[in-house]
Amino acid sequence: MADRYFPNDLPDFVAEAPDGGRGLLSLPYSSLSERLLRAALRIKDKVMEETWTRARRQVTDYTLYTGALGTALLLFKSFQVTGNRADLALAGDIVKECDAASRGLPRRFLTFICGRAGVCALGAVIAKHCNDQLLLTHYLSSFDEIIVTEKVPNELLYGRAGYLWACLFLNTHLGEKTIPHEHITSVAKDIIDEGRKLAKKGNCPLMYEWHGKKYWGAAHGLAGIMHVLMHTELKLDEKDDVKNTLLYMIRNRYPTGNYPSSEGSESDRLVHWCHGAPGVALTLAKAYQVFHDEHFKQTAAEAAEVVWNRGLLKRVGICHGVSGNAYVFLSLYRLTGNVEYLYRAKAFACFLLEKADQLIADGAMHGGDHPFSLFEGRAGMAYLLLDMVSPSESKFPAYEL
């Protein structure tokens, strides 16, 4: 199990000092954020060079997860943080190529992270910031053409929840009526209905399968689906099912505080956003905001302890790496205002900043199968560092709204 992560020998807490005498972690936050921003922009430029310039501005993988759309989202994030309109324009250029590459693909590719909905939704938001009404209309019209068929699964990466998240993203950035309330409610109801059908065979109010397995995590399972549903207006019985599904997960977590990757799994190994405590922690934090039940805040904090102890993974990305796990502490910091969570996010970010390059060069850390991508590689690290500049406004990309 320990071969998946580095032992966490980071200090439990380091107070800030005017001279930063104890290294990066003791720097005043304003000074540290400047360092993190410079590093983020340096990595962002490298990501752009590797995924766009060297690719001769051609798109073979258009997805947010491992492809060019992830680069576009990173550039858009850079624009949000710095106001650099060159990054905004370049993000728009990349999305146009993603649009061309994704047009005409099978309808099953319909989510924000791994499908056409992400291209159209991000394209529309960028077009709005560029004051390009014609392009905005094009992307919204293209989004409206996406059809969610009965055969579509329900999870986040490839299913209804991932499409629904794209709808919510559009309404967050362009106005609540961009995607009609009735449509969002209808998709959410379909997800609930599907979950109830499978749940009849077990003890959990809602249950879902992806490729024959009942996953629990953020990417393919309960945590991700519940997280998206909690951003919609649900009927009372539907809210009860979501709440009780989360309580079922809490009751059936491992004694360590970690969460199974799938129903009945006894392998307590994975501490990733995609599978395990990190993704569940983000969902429980949202549950506290929705249900105002202290139990959810407490269990989110308990999941964060698992991430602190076992979350320095031997990968850099946000899906199953240190960058993604740092977002647990940012989420708990926003939820509680407790500076110890901000410190822990700083600690993970500084670990990456100081050690990732050398660890990857030495072969002690995996740079990712797609080393410059958003979810598996350094683009995710750059995104985290940009979020560290204003931690109260941070959001796990394509998960938190």
pLDDT of residue 3: 84
Specify if 7 maps to a domain. no
What is the enclosing helix (H) or strand (E) of 205?
A: none
Whether the per-residue pLDDT at 20 is higher than 70: the answer is no
DSSP per position, 290-325: HH--HHHHHHHHHHHHHHHHH--BSB-SSSSSHHHH
pLDDT band at 78 (very low <50, low <70, confident <90, very high): very high
Specify if 56 maps to a domain. yes
pLDDT of residue 146: 95
φ and ψ of 5, to 5 deg: -145, 160
The residue whose two tokens read 């992560």 is: 5
pLDDT tens readout for residues 357-388? 999 999 999 988 899 999 999 999 999 999 99
pLDDT of residue 22: 63
pLDDT band at 56 (very low <50, low <70, confident <90, very high): confident
Mean pLDDT confidence for 16-34: 82
pLDDT band at 107 (very low <50, low <70, confident <90, very high): low
The residue whose two tokens read 């910091």 is: 333
Q: What percent of the chain has pLDDT over 90?
A: 88
Whether the per-residue pLDDT at 392 is higher than 70: the answer is yes
Cα separation, 142 vs 139, in Å, equals 5
Cα separation, 126 vs 112, in Å, equals 15
Instruction: Report the CATH number at residue 141.
Output: 1.50.10.10
Specify if 274 maps to a domain. yes
* Domains contained in the chain, number: 1
Mean pLDDT confidence for 236-260: 98
First to last CA, the chain: 32
pLDDT tens readout for residues 171-193? 999 999 999 999 999 999 999 99
pLDDT of residue 19: 67
Specify if 282 maps to a domain. yes
Whether the per-residue pLDDT at 1 is higher than 60: the answer is no
- 115 Cβ neighbours under 8 A, 6+ residues apart: 63, 102, 108, 109, 158, 162, 163
DSSP per position, 342-398: HHHHHHHHHHHHHHHHHHHHTTSSB--SSTTSTTTSHHHHHHHHHHHHSGGG---TT
φ and ψ of 289, to 5 deg: -65, -35
Cα separation, 121 vs 174, in Å, equals 10
Of 25 and 244, more confident: 244
pLDDT of residue 26: 85
Whether the per-residue pLDDT at 105 is higher than 90: the answer is no
Is position 370 annotated in a ligand binding site?
no
Taken in order 390, 368, 3, 320, the sign of the CA dihedral is positive
Q: What percent of the chain has pLDDT over 70?
A: 98
Specify if 3 maps to a domain. no
Whether the per-residue pLDDT at 343 is higher than 60: the answer is yes
Residue type, 244: N
Whether the per-residue pLDDT at 106 is higher than 80: the answer is no
Specify if 13 maps to a domain. no
Among 13-27, 123-137, 269-283, where is mean pLDDT lowest? 13-27
Specify if 123 maps to a domain. yes
Whether the per-residue pLDDT at 21 is higher than 70: the answer is no
Instruction: State how far the alpha carbon of 45 is from the alpha carbons of 98, 119, 315, 335, in Å.
Output: 19, 21, 20, 32
pLDDT of residue 24: 84
Is position 274 annotated in a ligand binding site?
yes
For all residues of the chain together, what is the average pLDDT?
95
> 359, 365 in Cβ contact below 8 A?
yes
pLDDT band at 13 (very low <50, low <70, confident <90, very high): confident
Q: How many CB atoms lie within 10 A of CB 181?
A: 12
Whether the per-residue pLDDT at 223 is higher than 90: the answer is yes
pLDDT of residue 9: 94
pLDDT of residue 2: 62
Is position 319 annotated in a ligand binding site?
yes
Its domain, for residue 194, covers: 23-393
Specify if 313 maps to a domain. yes
